[in-house]
């Protein structure tokens, strides 16, 4: 890769609200891994974002570390990437305040994720849930990221980030890079195995509809084999709602192997869903096995994880200060060179 690309900055994050799923892997983490070689990459665990829904403190700490371990387990090299926890770097919430003062209530009310979450029966609609996208914009703009690898559901938040950055630049002169999302062509929205018309979520899918990266292999196999399909028998990729189940399984298959969808369709011509699901179950199990093993090993080596986190946060902090102090100066906050 050319030097220029090496200077481009990538930032992304995942919130520790549950176990990472194969949706997170295919929609976001596979790109994290690919991009690490050619860019200046920062990947964080968005623990402050997780607080927008009630969390059990002990569990939150565990899940946060577990995601860092899974980042490394899927292939992110701590030497090549700044791996850190959002709350370890000063600047995310500070910038969020400043950007919040530039963001319209109307813009935040339009956010699909907020509308979905707040319309659920018994939803806890707190101010954090509403201003969540402003904190996400701060995560991205604090490092002047050029690209943000995410799944489909986060596209709207990155678009809002772009709008906020443009507004700031217009009002206070050029400061922020306008970031672009990187969304996979296929697999940007992996669906629930039991309800293939809704997204596979860490916390909002039922247990049998999702597959976590560190699930027990017997369970993984069982869940794939009992995924909802349709009353037909043809393994073909079709956009119809009726074929949503098989379409989702084909998407998982193509993303976890080097086979294209037409190749897979051909391989299973004349064979039934049973054969197809059994093979896919084996593929998923084999893909996840080393991830779980590495994760479990790292979770038993907290000293190592802590050293990765200290190093990641220290690198990220240096980058964050530069941008934050520039922002403070531009908006008119007095600085005394602390």
Using CB under 6 A, list all residues that contact ligand TRP: 11-15, 46, 49, 136, 139-140, 148, 150, 154
Where are the strands (E) in the chain, listed by range? 9-14, 40-45, 81-85, 147-149, 180-182
Q: At its nearest, how many Å lie between ligand AMP and the CB of residue 24?
A: 4
Place of tokens 């970031």: 179
Instruction: Kindly state whether residue 117 participates in binding ligand AMP, applying the rule CB under 6 A.
Output: no
Q: Which of 79, 111, 88 is nearest to 13 (CA)?
A: 88
Cβ-Cβ contacts under 8 Å for 311 (sequence gap 6 or more): 78
- Do residues 114 and 129 make contact, with C-beta atoms less than 8 angstroms apart? yes
Q: Which residues have a catalytic role annotated?
A: 117, 199, 202
* Part of the chain binding ligand AMP (CB under 6 A), chosen from 71-79, 80-88, 145-153, 273-281: 145-153
Q: At its nearest, how many Å lie between ligand TRP and the CB of residue 27?
A: 9
Among 150, 212, 214, 288, which residue interacts with ligand AMP (rule: CB under 6 A)? 150
Q: At its nearest, how many Å lie between ligand AMP and the CB of residue 217?
A: 21
Q: Token pair for residue 25?
A: 């892997």
* Part of the chain binding ligand AMP (CB under 6 A), chosen from 37-45, 127-135, 151-159, 162-170: 151-159
Instruction: Kindly state whether residue 292 participates in binding ligand AMP, applying the rule CB under 6 A.
Output: no
Place of tokens 């989702």: 248
> What number of chain residues touch ligand AMP (CB under 6 A)?
17
Residue 24 partner contact from ligand AMP, ligand TRP, none using kind-dependent CB cut-offs of 5 to 8 Å: ligand AMP
- Do residues 216 and 230 make contact, with C-beta atoms less than 8 angstroms apart? no
- Do residues 146 and 35 make contact, with C-beta atoms less than 8 angstroms apart? no
Residue 48 partner contact from ligand TRP, ligand AMP, none using kind-dependent CB cut-offs of 5 to 8 Å: none
Q: At its nearest, how many Å lie between ligand AMP and the CB of residue 14?
A: 4
In degrees and rounded to multiples of 5, residue 148 shows phi and psi of: -130, 100
Q: At its nearest, how many Å lie between ligand TRP and the CB of residue 57?
A: 20
187 dihedral zone (left: phi>0; alpha: psi -120 to 50; beta): left
- The tally of CA atoms less than 13 A away on the side-chain side of residue 135 is 19
Indicate the DSSP class of residue 212: B
Q: Which of 187, 243, 196 is nearest to 223 (CA)?
A: 196
DSSP-based helix, strand, coil % in the chain, nearest 5: 55, 10, 35
Instruction: Kindly state whether residue 15 participates in binding ligand AMP, applying the rule CB under 6 A.
Output: yes
Site for ligand AMP in 19-58 (CB under 6 A): 23-24, 26-28
Residue 189 partner contact from ligand AMP, ligand TRP, none using kind-dependent CB cut-offs of 5 to 8 Å: ligand AMP
Cβ-Cβ contacts under 8 Å for 219 (sequence gap 6 or more): none
Closest CB to ligand AMP among residues 31, 221: 31
Q: At its nearest, how many Å lie between ligand AMP and the CB of residue 151?
A: 2
Among 202, 243, 247, 292, which residue interacts with ligand AMP (rule: CB under 6 A)? 202
Binding residues vs ligand AMP (CB under 6 A): 14-15, 23-24, 26-28, 150-151, 153-154, 188-190, 199-200, 202
């Amino acid at each position: 890769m050319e030097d220029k690309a090496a200077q481009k900055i990538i930032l992304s994050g995942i919130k520790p609200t549950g176990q990472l799923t194969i949706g997170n892997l295919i929609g976001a983490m596979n790109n994290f891994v690919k991009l690490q070689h050619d860019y200046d990459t920062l990947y964080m665990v968005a623990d402050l974002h997780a607080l927008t829904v009630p969390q059990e403190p002990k569990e939150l700490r565990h899940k946060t570390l577990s995601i860092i371990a899974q980042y490394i387990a899927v292939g992110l090299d701590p030497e090549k990437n700044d791996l850190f926890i959002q709350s370890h770097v000063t600047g995310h919430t500070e910038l969020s305040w400043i950007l919040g003062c530039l963001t319209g209530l109307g813009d935040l009310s339009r956010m699909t994720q907020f509308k979905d979450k707040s319309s659920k029966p018994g939803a806890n609609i707190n101010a954090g849930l509403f201003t969540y996208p402003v904190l996400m914009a701060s995560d991205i703009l604090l490092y002047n990221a050029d690209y943000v690898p995410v799944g489909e559901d986060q596209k709207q938040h990155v678009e809002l980030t772009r709008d906020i950055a443009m507004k700031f630049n217009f009002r206070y002169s050029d400061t922020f890079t306008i970031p672009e999302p990187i969304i996979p062509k296929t697999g940007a929205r992996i669906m629930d195995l039991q309800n293939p018309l809704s997204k596979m979520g860490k916390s909002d899918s039922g247990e049998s509809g999702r597959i976590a990266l560190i699930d027990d292999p017997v369970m993984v196999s069982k869940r794939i084999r009992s995924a909802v399909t349709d009353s037909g028998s043809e393994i073909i990729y079709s956009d119809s709602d009726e074929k949503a189940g098989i379409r989702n399984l084909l998407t998982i298959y193509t993303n976890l192997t080097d086979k294209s969808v037409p190749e897979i369709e051909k391989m299973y011509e004349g064979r039934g869903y049973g054969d197809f699901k059994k093979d896919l179950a084996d593929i998923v199990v084999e893909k996840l096995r080393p991830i779980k093993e590495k994760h479990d090993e790292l979770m038993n080596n907290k000293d190592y994880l802590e050293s990765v986190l200290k190093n990641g946060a220290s690198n990220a902090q240096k980058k964050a200060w530069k941008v934050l102090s520039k922002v403070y100066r531009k908006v008119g906050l007095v600085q005394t060179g602390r």
